[in-house]
Amino acid sequence: MPESDDFLHLPASVIARMEADAQSLIRREAEAWLVEQCRETLESSGEWTLDYSSPTAYEASCKPHRKRWSETIGEWTFDSPFNPLLEPCFETKDTLARWLRIDLADGLQGRAILARPKNATHPLPWSSPSTAWGAARNGSSASMT
């Protein structure tokens, strides 16, 4: 692992590898979580009974299973406690960066890099490209120290 002082001066190929490694980890964790959700749904629903007597009967017998499957892979609610975990990422004389992990569900975590000017004396906005994180859930907040 590169020294934190060298992080901003790494070759593009090393930074690309680090980004790819992080993306791979996030993808594998999300996939493992989704597979487990599907397994639990399939086990709890029992065997699918299908009517093969005609194409129309088969289509009709698939309808409740399609509905259940749609509900399974549709929208999820994440009700995990907000327990942010900050881990070192890099630090320079001007910048402080931490890995931020939050639990989304049992076995699924959200990850981001949170970076800020090291000597900031006022509150800074906290956002990600896709969603604003400015308000803490359940009155909790993460402190970047």
Tens of pLDDT, residues 60-78: 988 887 787 777 676 666 7
**How far is 109 from 101, CA to CA, in rounded Å?**
6
Q: What is the CA radius of gyration of the chain?
A: 22
- pLDDT given for residue 137 in this prediction: 37
**How far is 39 from 67, CA to CA, in rounded Å?**
17
Looking at residues 33-45, what average pLDDT do you find?
A: 78
- Per the CB < 8 A criterion, the answer to whether 33 and 108 are in contact is yes
Of the two residues 11 and 139, the one the predictor is more confident about is 11
- Per the CB < 8 A criterion, the answer to whether 31 and 24 are in contact is no
**φ, ψ dihedrals at 4, nearest 5°:** -65, -30
Q: Is the pLDDT of residue 42 over 80?
A: no
Percent of the chain at pLDDT above 70? 77
Q: Is the pLDDT of residue 109 over 50?
A: yes
- pLDDT given for residue 75 in this prediction: 62
- pLDDT given for residue 91 in this prediction: 87
All residues at 6 or more sequence positions from 56 whose CB lies less than 8 Å from its CB, including other chains: none
Which two three-digit tokens encode residue 36? 């487990």
**How far is 116 from 120, CA to CA, in rounded Å?**
8
- pLDDT given for residue 141 in this prediction: 41
- Confidence class of residue 18 from pLDDT cuts 50, 70 and 90? confident
| Cα 73 to Cα 24, 76, 86, distances in angstroms | 21, 8, 30
Residue 26 parent element (H or E) = helix 12-45
Q: Which of 53-62, 64-73, 110-119 has the lowest mean pLDDT?
A: 64-73
Q: Where are the domains of the chain?
A: 1-45+77-120, 46-76
Tell me how far apart the 2 most distant CA atoms of the chain are, in Å. 73
- pLDDT given for residue 123 in this prediction: 80
Of the two residues 138 and 108, the one the predictor is more confident about is 108
- Confidence class of residue 104 from pLDDT cuts 50, 70 and 90? confident
